[in-house]
Amino acid sequence: MSWINENGPIKDVVLSSRTRLARNVARYPFPAAMQEKQAKEIAEKVRKSIQDGKSRLNTDFAFLYMKDVPVIERQILVEKHLASQDLMQNYEVSAMALDSAEKVTVMVNEEDHIRMQCILPGFQLNKAWEILDRVDDVVESEVDYAFDKNFGYLTSCPTNVGTGLRSSVMMHLPALTANNQMNAILQTISKIGLTARGIYGEGTEALGNIYQISNQITLGSSEEDIINNLTVACRQIVENERMARKALLKFNGIQFRDAIWRSFGILCHARVLELKEFMTLISQVRMGISMGILPNINTEVLDTLMTEGQPAGVRKKAGRQLDEMEVNIVRADLIRKAMKEIINKETNS
Amino acid sequence: MLCQECKQKPATVHLVKIINDHKTELHLCEDCARQREDFMNITPFSVNDLIASFMDMGKENPANPAYENPVPSKCAVCGMDYNQFRKIGRLGCQECYKYFGEELDPVLRRIQGSTVHTGKVPKRCGSDLVREKQLAEWRAELKKAIEVEAFEKAAELRDKIKELEQSGNEKQENPKKPGTDTPEHPEKEKPKNPEKPENPEKPENPEAGQLGGSEQ
Protein backbone atom coordinates (compact mmCIF):
# COMPACT_ATOMS: atom_id res chain seq x y z
CA MET A 1 0.00 0.00 0.00
CA SER A 2 1.23 3.48 -0.71
CA TRP A 3 -0.16 6.90 -1.52
CA ILE A 4 0.15 5.94 -5.19
CA ASN A 5 -2.47 3.18 -5.32
CA GLU A 6 -5.03 4.77 -3.07
CA ASN A 7 -8.02 6.86 -4.08
CA GLY A 8 -8.08 10.57 -3.27
CA PRO A 9 -10.30 13.61 -3.83
CA ILE A 10 -10.20 15.50 -7.18
CA LYS A 11 -8.11 12.69 -8.64
CA ASP A 12 -9.08 13.68 -12.19
CA VAL A 13 -6.67 16.62 -11.98
CA VAL A 14 -4.64 16.26 -8.77
CA LEU A 15 -2.31 13.29 -8.38
CA SER A 16 -1.01 14.04 -4.93
CA SER A 17 -0.59 16.65 -2.20
CA ARG A 18 2.63 16.96 -0.27
CA THR A 19 3.94 18.95 2.67
CA ARG A 20 7.58 19.10 3.65
CA LEU A 21 9.37 20.61 6.65
CA ALA A 22 13.08 21.45 6.89
CA ARG A 23 14.59 21.23 10.37
CA ASN A 24 18.09 21.25 11.82
CA VAL A 25 19.38 19.94 15.11
CA ALA A 26 20.58 22.69 17.45
CA ARG A 27 24.33 23.12 18.07
CA TYR A 28 25.41 20.82 15.23
CA PRO A 29 26.97 22.14 12.01
CA PHE A 30 24.62 21.95 9.02
CA PRO A 31 25.21 19.04 6.60
CA ALA A 32 27.49 21.16 4.34
CA ALA A 33 30.03 21.53 7.19
CA MET A 34 29.37 18.37 9.16
CA GLN A 35 31.71 15.50 10.12
CA GLU A 36 30.68 11.89 9.57
CA LYS A 37 30.58 11.23 13.31
CA GLN A 38 28.15 14.09 13.85
CA ALA A 39 25.96 12.88 11.00
CA LYS A 40 25.71 9.49 12.69
CA GLU A 41 24.78 11.07 16.00
CA ILE A 42 22.03 13.04 14.33
CA ALA A 43 20.65 9.97 12.58
CA GLU A 44 20.56 8.19 15.94
CA LYS A 45 18.81 11.10 17.67
CA VAL A 46 16.13 11.20 14.99
CA ARG A 47 15.72 7.42 14.96
CA LYS A 48 15.27 7.38 18.74
CA SER A 49 12.71 10.18 18.65
CA ILE A 50 10.56 8.28 16.17
CA GLN A 51 11.03 4.67 17.27
CA ASP A 52 11.72 4.91 21.03
CA GLY A 53 10.28 8.31 21.95
CA LYS A 54 7.62 8.78 24.60
CA SER A 55 5.10 10.36 22.29
CA ARG A 56 4.50 8.00 19.41
CA LEU A 57 2.89 8.22 16.04
CA ASN A 58 0.20 5.68 15.38
CA THR A 59 1.98 3.97 12.52
CA ASP A 60 5.12 1.86 12.46
CA PHE A 61 8.25 3.35 11.02
CA ALA A 62 11.11 1.50 9.39
CA PHE A 63 14.46 3.23 9.71
CA LEU A 64 16.74 2.79 6.72
CA TYR A 65 20.41 3.75 6.47
CA MET A 66 20.92 4.64 2.82
CA LYS A 67 24.30 2.93 2.56
CA ASP A 68 22.53 -0.37 3.35
CA VAL A 69 19.84 0.16 0.71
CA PRO A 70 20.64 -1.20 -2.79
CA VAL A 71 21.06 1.48 -5.45
CA ILE A 72 17.98 0.36 -7.37
CA GLU A 73 15.79 0.55 -4.26
CA ARG A 74 17.10 4.04 -3.58
CA GLN A 75 16.08 5.13 -7.07
CA ILE A 76 12.66 3.59 -6.63
CA LEU A 77 12.15 5.56 -3.41
CA VAL A 78 12.87 8.71 -5.43
CA GLU A 79 10.55 7.65 -8.27
CA LYS A 80 7.77 7.05 -5.74
CA HIS A 81 8.38 10.58 -4.39
CA LEU A 82 9.16 9.13 -0.96
CA ALA A 83 12.74 10.41 -0.87
CA SER A 84 14.75 13.08 -2.62
CA GLN A 85 17.66 12.85 -5.01
CA ASP A 86 19.74 14.88 -2.54
CA LEU A 87 19.26 12.22 0.13
CA MET A 88 20.66 9.59 -2.23
CA GLN A 89 23.65 11.72 -3.12
CA ASN A 90 24.60 11.79 0.58
CA TYR A 91 24.01 8.03 0.85
CA GLU A 92 27.11 7.45 2.98
CA VAL A 93 25.66 9.32 5.93
CA SER A 94 21.97 9.73 5.11
CA ALA A 95 19.05 7.77 6.47
CA MET A 96 15.28 7.89 6.45
CA ALA A 97 12.29 6.80 8.47
CA LEU A 98 9.43 5.48 6.36
CA ASP A 99 6.00 4.66 7.71
CA SER A 100 4.35 1.39 6.76
CA ALA A 101 1.61 3.18 4.80
CA GLU A 102 4.28 4.92 2.64
CA LYS A 103 2.91 8.36 3.31
CA VAL A 104 5.28 9.88 5.85
CA THR A 105 9.04 10.02 5.48
CA VAL A 106 11.62 11.64 7.71
CA MET A 107 14.86 12.09 5.79
CA VAL A 108 18.06 12.60 7.75
CA ASN A 109 21.22 14.37 6.56
CA GLU A 110 19.84 15.66 3.31
CA GLU A 111 20.40 19.36 2.55
CA ASP A 112 19.22 19.92 6.13
CA HIS A 113 19.60 17.54 9.06
CA ILE A 114 15.92 16.69 8.90
CA ARG A 115 13.53 16.86 5.98
CA MET A 116 10.17 15.35 6.80
CA GLN A 117 7.32 15.00 4.37
CA CYS A 118 3.78 13.74 4.12
CA ILE A 119 2.37 12.79 0.73
CA LEU A 120 -1.29 11.90 0.20
CA PRO A 121 -3.24 10.93 -2.93
CA GLY A 122 -5.43 13.59 -4.55
CA PHE A 123 -6.11 17.04 -3.21
CA GLN A 124 -5.65 16.85 0.58
CA LEU A 125 -3.19 19.58 1.49
CA ASN A 126 -4.74 20.37 4.88
CA LYS A 127 -4.68 16.74 5.94
CA ALA A 128 -1.08 16.42 4.76
CA TRP A 129 -0.17 19.41 6.91
CA GLU A 130 -2.07 18.11 9.97
CA ILE A 131 -0.20 14.81 9.81
CA LEU A 132 3.18 16.41 9.28
CA ASP A 133 2.60 18.92 12.07
CA ARG A 134 2.13 15.95 14.41
CA VAL A 135 5.25 14.18 13.16
CA ASP A 136 7.19 17.40 13.74
CA ASP A 137 5.88 17.60 17.32
CA VAL A 138 6.92 14.02 17.99
CA VAL A 139 10.48 14.56 16.73
CA GLU A 140 10.70 17.91 18.51
CA SER A 141 9.72 16.35 21.83
CA GLU A 142 13.12 14.61 21.83
CA VAL A 143 15.33 16.63 19.49
CA ASP A 144 16.36 20.27 20.02
CA TYR A 145 15.82 22.25 16.83
CA ALA A 146 17.91 25.17 15.60
CA PHE A 147 15.41 27.98 16.00
CA ASP A 148 15.76 31.74 16.08
CA LYS A 149 13.10 34.06 17.41
CA ASN A 150 13.34 36.29 14.32
CA PHE A 151 14.29 33.89 11.53
CA GLY A 152 12.27 30.92 12.81
CA TYR A 153 13.54 27.45 11.94
CA LEU A 154 17.09 27.81 10.62
CA THR A 155 17.94 25.99 7.40
CA SER A 156 21.03 25.42 5.26
CA CYS A 157 19.63 27.50 2.45
CA PRO A 158 17.99 30.85 3.20
CA THR A 159 15.23 29.97 0.72
CA ASN A 160 13.76 27.58 3.30
CA VAL A 161 14.23 29.55 6.51
CA GLY A 162 11.25 30.50 8.68
CA THR A 163 8.58 27.84 8.59
CA GLY A 164 10.78 25.46 6.58
CA LEU A 165 7.51 24.46 4.94
CA ARG A 166 7.26 23.63 1.29
CA SER A 167 3.81 22.43 0.30
CA SER A 168 3.14 21.22 -3.18
CA VAL A 169 0.36 19.84 -5.29
CA MET A 170 1.10 17.52 -8.20
CA MET A 171 -1.33 18.39 -10.97
CA HIS A 172 -2.13 16.78 -14.28
CA LEU A 173 -2.84 19.62 -16.72
CA PRO A 174 -2.95 18.26 -20.27
CA ALA A 175 -5.80 20.46 -21.52
CA LEU A 176 -4.31 23.72 -20.21
CA THR A 177 -0.99 22.70 -21.75
CA ALA A 178 -2.64 21.87 -25.08
CA ASN A 179 -4.37 25.25 -25.07
CA ASN A 180 -1.05 27.05 -24.39
CA GLN A 181 -2.48 28.49 -21.20
CA MET A 182 0.25 27.23 -18.88
CA ASN A 183 2.58 30.18 -19.33
CA ALA A 184 -0.11 32.66 -18.34
CA ILE A 185 -1.01 30.54 -15.31
CA LEU A 186 2.61 30.25 -14.22
CA GLN A 187 3.00 34.00 -14.46
CA THR A 188 -0.11 34.59 -12.37
CA ILE A 189 0.81 32.19 -9.60
CA SER A 190 4.32 33.61 -9.38
CA LYS A 191 2.73 36.92 -8.41
CA ILE A 192 1.34 35.37 -5.24
CA GLY A 193 4.57 33.64 -4.25
CA LEU A 194 3.89 30.26 -5.85
CA THR A 195 6.01 28.42 -8.35
CA ALA A 196 5.72 25.41 -10.68
CA ARG A 197 8.21 22.64 -11.37
CA GLY A 198 8.24 19.39 -13.32
CA ILE A 199 7.20 16.05 -11.91
CA TYR A 200 10.55 15.23 -10.31
CA GLY A 201 11.24 18.59 -8.71
CA GLU A 202 13.52 21.51 -9.38
CA GLY A 203 14.90 21.70 -12.90
CA THR A 204 12.92 18.75 -14.28
CA GLU A 205 10.59 19.22 -17.21
CA ALA A 206 6.86 18.80 -17.06
CA LEU A 207 6.87 15.19 -18.27
CA GLY A 208 3.39 13.95 -19.09
CA ASN A 209 1.90 17.41 -18.51
CA ILE A 210 2.40 16.96 -14.79
CA TYR A 211 3.30 20.05 -12.79
CA GLN A 212 4.20 20.53 -9.15
CA ILE A 213 2.77 23.78 -7.86
CA SER A 214 4.37 24.89 -4.60
CA ASN A 215 4.93 27.85 -2.30
CA GLN A 216 8.12 29.82 -2.85
CA ILE A 217 8.05 31.85 0.34
CA THR A 218 8.74 30.24 3.70
CA LEU A 219 9.39 33.25 5.94
CA GLY A 220 6.84 35.76 7.19
CA SER A 221 3.64 33.76 6.66
CA SER A 222 2.19 31.18 9.01
CA GLU A 223 2.01 27.55 7.94
CA GLU A 224 -1.78 27.78 7.67
CA ASP A 225 -1.57 30.84 5.42
CA ILE A 226 0.93 29.10 3.16
CA ILE A 227 -1.34 26.06 2.85
CA ASN A 228 -4.47 28.17 2.29
CA ASN A 229 -2.80 30.31 -0.32
CA LEU A 230 -1.73 27.26 -2.30
CA THR A 231 -5.11 25.56 -1.85
CA VAL A 232 -7.01 28.54 -3.25
CA ALA A 233 -4.71 28.84 -6.26
CA CYS A 234 -4.83 25.13 -7.02
CA ARG A 235 -8.60 25.01 -6.77
CA GLN A 236 -8.70 27.72 -9.41
CA ILE A 237 -6.32 25.78 -11.63
CA VAL A 238 -8.44 22.63 -11.23
CA GLU A 239 -11.51 24.54 -12.41
CA ASN A 240 -9.59 25.96 -15.38
CA GLU A 241 -8.29 22.55 -16.37
CA ARG A 242 -11.76 21.02 -16.18
CA MET A 243 -13.18 23.83 -18.30
CA ALA A 244 -10.38 23.48 -20.85
CA ARG A 245 -11.04 19.74 -21.09
CA LYS A 246 -14.73 20.35 -21.72
CA ALA A 247 -13.92 22.98 -24.33
CA LEU A 248 -11.51 20.68 -26.16
CA LEU A 249 -14.20 18.01 -26.31
CA LYS A 250 -16.85 20.45 -27.45
CA PHE A 251 -14.93 22.23 -30.18
CA ASN A 252 -12.53 19.52 -31.36
CA GLY A 253 -14.63 16.51 -30.40
CA ILE A 254 -13.58 13.93 -32.95
CA GLN A 255 -9.90 14.94 -33.12
CA PHE A 256 -9.75 15.01 -29.34
CA ARG A 257 -11.29 11.55 -28.96
CA ASP A 258 -9.10 10.25 -31.75
CA ALA A 259 -5.92 11.49 -30.05
CA ILE A 260 -6.90 9.83 -26.78
CA TRP A 261 -7.83 6.51 -28.41
CA ARG A 262 -4.57 6.55 -30.38
CA SER A 263 -2.60 7.03 -27.18
CA PHE A 264 -4.49 4.14 -25.65
CA GLY A 265 -3.74 2.04 -28.73
CA ILE A 266 -0.02 2.73 -28.66
CA LEU A 267 0.24 1.86 -24.95
CA CYS A 268 -1.54 -1.44 -25.70
CA HIS A 269 0.63 -2.40 -28.65
CA ALA A 270 4.01 -0.61 -28.71
CA ARG A 271 7.23 -2.66 -28.64
CA VAL A 272 9.54 0.22 -27.70
CA LEU A 273 8.53 3.04 -25.37
CA GLU A 274 10.80 5.92 -24.42
CA LEU A 275 10.17 7.57 -21.08
CA LYS A 276 9.01 10.86 -22.52
CA GLU A 277 6.63 9.24 -25.01
CA PHE A 278 5.32 6.91 -22.34
CA MET A 279 4.57 9.79 -20.01
CA THR A 280 2.81 11.77 -22.75
CA LEU A 281 0.66 8.78 -23.74
CA ILE A 282 -0.30 7.76 -20.24
CA SER A 283 -1.14 11.38 -19.53
CA GLN A 284 -3.57 11.38 -22.46
CA VAL A 285 -5.10 8.09 -21.35
CA ARG A 286 -5.47 9.39 -17.79
CA MET A 287 -7.40 12.37 -19.11
CA GLY A 288 -9.50 10.17 -21.42
CA ILE A 289 -10.57 7.96 -18.54
CA SER A 290 -11.47 10.81 -16.21
CA MET A 291 -13.58 12.35 -18.98
CA GLY A 292 -15.43 9.12 -19.72
CA ILE A 293 -14.00 8.79 -23.24
CA LEU A 294 -12.13 5.58 -22.45
CA PRO A 295 -13.44 2.61 -20.44
CA ASN A 296 -13.49 3.27 -16.73
CA ILE A 297 -10.09 2.22 -15.38
CA ASN A 298 -9.13 3.28 -11.86
CA THR A 299 -6.75 6.22 -12.08
CA GLU A 300 -4.84 4.63 -9.18
CA VAL A 301 -3.98 1.71 -11.47
CA LEU A 302 -2.64 4.17 -14.05
CA ASP A 303 -0.72 6.18 -11.46
CA THR A 304 0.90 3.00 -10.20
CA LEU A 305 1.82 2.16 -13.77
CA MET A 306 3.24 5.65 -14.23
CA THR A 307 5.59 5.05 -11.30
CA GLU A 308 6.48 1.51 -12.34
CA GLY A 309 7.32 2.75 -15.83
CA GLN A 310 10.09 5.02 -14.50
CA PRO A 311 13.66 3.84 -15.25
CA ALA A 312 14.44 2.24 -11.86
CA GLY A 313 10.96 0.70 -11.69
CA VAL A 314 11.51 -0.97 -15.08
CA ARG A 315 15.00 -2.17 -14.11
CA LYS A 316 13.67 -3.68 -10.92
CA LYS A 317 10.92 -5.56 -12.76
CA ALA A 318 13.52 -6.92 -15.19
CA GLY A 319 15.74 -7.97 -12.31
CA ARG A 320 18.95 -7.35 -14.25
CA GLN A 321 21.14 -4.59 -15.68
CA LEU A 322 19.59 -2.94 -18.73
CA ASP A 323 20.94 -0.38 -21.16
CA GLU A 324 18.72 2.47 -22.28
CA MET A 325 17.32 0.70 -25.34
CA GLU A 326 16.55 -2.39 -23.29
CA VAL A 327 14.75 -0.26 -20.73
CA ASN A 328 12.50 1.07 -23.48
CA ILE A 329 11.75 -2.45 -24.69
CA VAL A 330 11.06 -3.84 -21.22
CA ARG A 331 8.92 -0.80 -20.44
CA ALA A 332 6.80 -1.42 -23.54
CA ASP A 333 6.39 -5.11 -22.57
CA LEU A 334 5.43 -4.19 -19.05
CA ILE A 335 2.85 -1.65 -20.10
CA ARG A 336 1.43 -3.89 -22.80
CA LYS A 337 0.83 -6.69 -20.31
CA ALA A 338 -0.68 -4.34 -17.78
CA MET A 339 -3.04 -2.84 -20.36
CA LYS A 340 -4.11 -6.31 -21.48
CA GLU A 341 -4.95 -7.22 -17.89
CA ILE A 342 -6.90 -4.04 -17.43
CA ILE A 343 -8.93 -4.66 -20.59
CA ASN A 344 -9.61 -8.31 -19.68
CA LYS A 345 -10.88 -7.27 -16.28
CA GLU A 346 -13.08 -4.68 -17.99
CA THR A 347 -14.65 -7.16 -20.43
CA ASN A 348 -15.17 -9.83 -17.75
CA SER A 349 -16.91 -7.57 -15.30
CA MET B 1 8.51 34.54 -31.26
CA LEU B 2 11.14 32.42 -33.00
CA CYS B 3 14.85 32.59 -32.34
CA GLN B 4 16.54 35.24 -34.48
CA GLU B 5 19.55 33.03 -35.15
CA CYS B 6 18.24 29.59 -36.03
CA LYS B 7 14.66 30.68 -36.77
CA GLN B 8 13.45 27.27 -35.64
CA LYS B 9 13.09 27.17 -31.89
CA PRO B 10 11.08 29.59 -29.78
CA ALA B 11 13.08 32.50 -28.37
CA THR B 12 13.30 32.18 -24.61
CA VAL B 13 16.30 34.41 -23.91
CA HIS B 14 15.88 38.14 -24.45
CA LEU B 15 18.64 40.72 -24.26
CA VAL B 16 18.10 44.46 -24.44
CA LYS B 17 21.29 46.53 -24.63
CA ILE B 18 21.26 50.28 -24.23
CA ILE B 19 24.62 51.86 -25.00
CA ASN B 20 24.71 55.68 -25.32
CA ASP B 21 20.97 55.82 -25.88
CA HIS B 22 21.30 53.30 -28.68
CA LYS B 23 19.06 50.35 -28.06
CA THR B 24 19.56 46.87 -29.52
CA GLU B 25 17.37 43.86 -28.88
CA LEU B 26 18.15 40.18 -29.28
CA HIS B 27 15.73 37.28 -28.99
CA LEU B 28 17.28 33.82 -29.03
CA CYS B 29 16.55 30.24 -28.13
CA GLU B 30 18.51 28.76 -25.27
CA ASP B 31 20.87 26.79 -27.54
CA CYS B 32 21.82 29.77 -29.71
CA ALA B 33 22.14 31.97 -26.63
CA ARG B 34 24.68 29.58 -25.21
CA GLN B 35 26.85 30.02 -28.32
CA ARG B 36 27.16 33.75 -27.80
CA GLU B 37 29.50 35.59 -25.53
CA ASP B 38 26.88 38.15 -24.48
CA PHE B 39 24.89 35.43 -22.82
CA MET B 40 27.67 33.36 -21.37
CA ASN B 41 26.93 34.45 -17.84
CA ILE B 42 23.20 34.73 -18.17
CA THR B 43 22.03 31.23 -18.84
CA PRO B 44 21.43 28.95 -17.17
CA PHE B 45 21.35 30.16 -13.62
CA SER B 46 20.38 28.56 -10.36
CA VAL B 47 19.00 29.71 -7.04
CA ASN B 48 22.59 29.80 -5.74
CA ASP B 49 23.58 32.36 -8.36
CA LEU B 50 20.55 34.40 -7.50
CA ILE B 51 21.33 34.40 -3.79
CA ALA B 52 24.92 35.31 -4.51
CA SER B 53 23.95 38.28 -6.65
CA PHE B 54 21.47 39.53 -4.08
CA MET B 55 24.19 39.38 -1.49
CA ASP B 56 26.57 41.30 -3.73
CA MET B 57 24.04 43.93 -4.55
CA GLY B 58 24.52 45.63 -1.22
CA LYS B 59 28.29 45.48 -1.64
CA GLU B 60 28.46 47.06 -5.06
CA ASN B 61 26.71 50.11 -3.77
CA PRO B 62 29.44 52.40 -2.41
CA ALA B 63 26.88 54.16 -0.25
CA ASN B 64 26.66 50.97 1.75
CA PRO B 65 29.15 51.03 4.62
CA ALA B 66 29.70 47.29 4.26
CA TYR B 67 31.57 48.03 1.04
CA GLU B 68 34.28 49.85 2.90
CA ASN B 69 35.08 46.76 4.87
CA PRO B 70 37.13 44.55 2.55
CA VAL B 71 37.43 41.64 5.00
CA PRO B 72 34.82 39.03 4.08
CA SER B 73 32.46 38.02 6.86
CA LYS B 74 33.30 34.71 8.43
CA CYS B 75 31.34 32.54 10.81
CA ALA B 76 33.38 32.19 14.01
CA VAL B 77 31.68 28.91 14.88
CA CYS B 78 31.90 26.73 11.79
CA GLY B 79 34.51 28.76 9.90
CA MET B 80 32.48 29.20 6.73
CA ASP B 81 33.32 32.48 5.01
CA TYR B 82 31.29 34.65 2.73
CA ASN B 83 32.96 33.46 -0.47
CA GLN B 84 32.39 29.83 0.38
CA PHE B 85 28.74 30.50 1.06
CA ARG B 86 28.42 32.37 -2.22
CA LYS B 87 29.86 29.37 -4.03
CA ILE B 88 27.75 26.59 -2.53
CA GLY B 89 24.66 28.58 -1.51
CA ARG B 90 24.44 26.71 1.79
CA LEU B 91 25.21 27.96 5.26
CA GLY B 92 27.49 25.98 7.56
CA CYS B 93 25.67 26.19 10.87
CA GLN B 94 22.94 27.99 12.76
CA GLU B 95 25.36 30.72 13.91
CA CYS B 96 26.02 31.69 10.28
CA TYR B 97 22.69 33.50 10.40
CA LYS B 98 24.25 35.86 12.94
CA TYR B 99 27.63 36.30 11.26
CA PHE B 100 26.19 36.81 7.77
CA GLY B 101 23.24 38.83 9.02
CA GLU B 102 24.13 41.93 7.05
CA GLU B 103 24.59 40.04 3.78
CA LEU B 104 21.55 37.83 4.33
CA ASP B 105 19.16 40.67 4.97
CA PRO B 106 18.77 41.72 1.31
CA VAL B 107 18.54 38.05 0.25
CA LEU B 108 15.68 37.39 2.64
CA ARG B 109 13.94 40.60 1.67
CA ARG B 110 14.14 39.76 -2.03
CA ILE B 111 13.44 36.06 -1.92
CA GLN B 112 11.13 35.87 1.07
CA GLY B 113 9.73 39.40 1.13
CA SER B 114 10.12 39.39 4.91
CA THR B 115 12.71 38.85 7.61
CA VAL B 116 10.49 37.87 10.51
CA HIS B 117 9.07 34.42 11.21
CA THR B 118 5.41 34.36 12.24
CA GLY B 119 4.64 30.67 12.08
CA LYS B 120 5.02 27.63 14.27
CA VAL B 121 7.33 27.66 17.29
CA PRO B 122 9.00 24.57 18.80
CA LYS B 123 6.98 23.64 21.87
CA ARG B 124 9.88 22.79 24.18
CA CYS B 125 12.62 25.34 23.57
CA GLY B 126 10.87 27.93 21.46
CA SER B 127 8.27 29.38 23.82
CA ASP B 128 10.86 31.14 26.00
CA LEU B 129 12.37 32.76 22.93
CA VAL B 130 9.02 33.95 21.73
CA ARG B 131 8.14 35.35 25.15
CA GLU B 132 11.43 37.21 25.28
CA LYS B 133 10.75 38.66 21.87
CA GLN B 134 7.25 39.75 22.84
CA LEU B 135 8.57 41.31 26.04
CA ALA B 136 11.22 43.24 24.13
CA GLU B 137 8.58 44.55 21.72
CA TRP B 138 6.24 45.63 24.51
CA ARG B 139 9.07 47.26 26.47
CA ALA B 140 10.00 49.28 23.41
CA GLU B 141 6.37 50.29 22.97
CA LEU B 142 6.16 51.20 26.63
CA LYS B 143 9.20 53.45 26.34
CA LYS B 144 7.67 55.18 23.35
CA ALA B 145 4.32 55.57 25.09
CA ILE B 146 6.00 57.24 28.08
CA GLU B 147 7.94 59.54 25.78
CA VAL B 148 4.77 60.80 24.14
CA GLU B 149 3.00 60.84 27.51
CA ALA B 150 0.37 58.31 26.48
CA PHE B 151 0.02 57.12 30.05
CA GLU B 152 -3.13 55.10 29.61
CA LYS B 153 -1.48 52.99 26.97
CA ALA B 154 1.69 52.78 29.05
CA ALA B 155 -0.22 51.41 32.02
CA GLU B 156 -1.86 48.84 29.82
CA LEU B 157 1.49 47.76 28.44
CA ARG B 158 3.05 47.65 31.90
CA ASP B 159 0.34 45.25 33.08
CA LYS B 160 0.74 43.05 30.04
CA ILE B 161 4.51 42.90 30.56
CA LYS B 162 4.08 42.02 34.23
CA GLU B 163 1.66 39.26 33.43
CA LEU B 164 3.90 37.72 30.81
CA GLU B 165 6.97 37.97 33.02
CA GLN B 166 5.14 36.20 35.82
CA SER B 167 3.94 33.40 33.61
CA GLY B 168 7.58 32.86 32.64
CA ASN B 169 8.74 32.76 36.26
CA GLU B 170 6.11 30.23 37.23
CA LYS B 171 7.36 27.98 34.52
CA GLN B 172 10.89 28.17 35.79
CA GLU B 173 9.89 27.45 39.39
CA ASN B 174 8.17 24.33 38.21
CA PRO B 175 10.69 22.72 35.90
CA LYS B 176 9.48 20.05 33.59
CA LYS B 177 11.68 17.36 32.25
CA PRO B 178 12.14 18.06 28.58
CA GLY B 179 10.09 15.87 26.32
CA THR B 180 7.31 15.01 28.72
CA ASP B 181 3.89 16.28 27.91
CA THR B 182 2.08 16.60 31.19
CA PRO B 183 -0.66 19.18 30.72
CA GLU B 184 -3.22 16.36 30.75
CA HIS B 185 -2.81 15.89 34.51
CA PRO B 186 -5.41 18.12 36.10
CA GLU B 187 -4.66 17.08 39.70
CA LYS B 188 -2.03 19.09 41.51
CA GLU B 189 1.12 17.09 41.30
CA LYS B 190 4.37 17.66 43.04
CA PRO B 191 7.30 17.47 40.68
CA LYS B 192 8.34 13.86 41.13
CA ASN B 193 11.80 14.43 39.90
CA PRO B 194 13.55 17.00 42.04
CA GLU B 195 16.81 16.90 40.12
CA LYS B 196 17.04 19.50 37.42
CA PRO B 197 18.39 18.51 34.05
CA GLU B 198 21.72 20.21 34.47
CA ASN B 199 23.03 19.70 31.02
CA PRO B 200 20.23 20.09 28.53
CA GLU B 201 22.53 19.06 25.72
CA LYS B 202 22.56 15.50 26.92
CA PRO B 203 19.16 14.07 26.08
CA GLU B 204 20.28 10.55 27.01
CA ASN B 205 17.74 9.17 29.41
CA PRO B 206 18.40 5.98 31.31
CA GLU B 207 15.09 4.34 30.36
CA ALA B 208 15.75 4.59 26.68
CA GLY B 209 19.16 3.03 27.23
CA GLN B 210 17.64 0.04 28.98
CA LEU B 211 15.01 -0.48 26.35
CA GLY B 212 17.33 -0.10 23.44
CA GLY B 213 20.02 -2.27 25.00
CA SER B 214 22.68 -0.29 23.20
CA GLU B 215 25.48 -1.48 25.49
CA GLN B 216 25.36 -5.11 24.41
List, for residues A185-198, the tens digit of each pLDDT value. Answer: 888 888 888 988 87
pLDDT of residue A40: 92
Of A112, A113, A119, A69, the C-alpha closest to A92 is A69
pLDDT computed for residue A196 by the predictor: 87
Element (H, E) at B24: strand B22-28
ipTM of model over 0.90: no
Contacts of B118 in chain A (CB under 8 A): 220-222
**A341-345, B33-37, B157-161: range with highest mean pLDDT:** B157-161
Residue B200 has pLDDT above 60, yes or no: no
A285-321 per-position pLDDT tens digit: 988 988 888 887 777 888 888 888 888 888 888 888 8
B180 interface with A at CB cutoff 8 Å: yes
Out of A70-79, A91-100, A207-216, B6-15, which region has the weakest mean confidence (pLDDT)? B6-15
Q: Say if the Cβ atoms of B124 and A144 lie within 8 Å.
A: yes
**What pLDDT is recorded for position B34?**
67
- B positions 12-31 inside 8 Å of A (CB): none
Best probe of the A interface among B53, B117, B118, B130, by most A CBs < 10 A, is: B117
A92 burial (CB, 10 Å; 0-12 / 13-18 / 19+) is exposed
> Would you call B112 and A33 a contact, using CB atoms and an 8 Å cutoff?
no
**A54 CB near a chain B CB, below 8 Å?**
yes
**A321-337: per-residue pLDDT in tens?**
888 888 899 999 999 99
User: Among A118-127, B26-35, B41-50, which stretch is predicted with the lowest mean pLDDT?
Assistant: B41-50
DSSP one-letter code for A319: T
Q: State mean pLDDT over B189-213.
A: 41
Chain A residues within 8 A of B212 when measuring between CB atoms:
48, 52
Tell me the whole-structure pTM to 2 decimals: 0.73
A345 to chain B, closest Cα gap in Å: 45
B110, B55 in Cβ contact below 8 A?
A: no
Residues 113-172 of B with CB under 8 A from A: 113-126, 129-130, 132-133
Residues in chain B within 8 Å Cβ distance of A148 = 94, 97, 117, 129
Residue A41 DSSP code: H
A92 backbone dihedrals φ, ψ, rounded to 5°:
-65, -30
Q: How far apart are CA B147 and CA B78, in angstroms?
A: 43
C-beta atoms of A162 and B117 within 8 A: yes
By the 8 A CB rule, do B135 and B161 touch? yes
Optimal mutation site among B43, B120, B201, interface A, most CBs of chain A within 10 A:
B120
With b for 16 or more beta-carbon neighbours within 10 A and e for fewer, the A239-259 pattern comes to ebbbebbeebbeeeeeebbeb
In eight-state DSSP terms, residue A144 is -
A158/B122 CB distance under 8 A? no
Average pLDDT in chain B: 68
For B36-62, what is each residue's pLDDT tens digit? Answer: 655 544 444 566 666 666 666 655 544
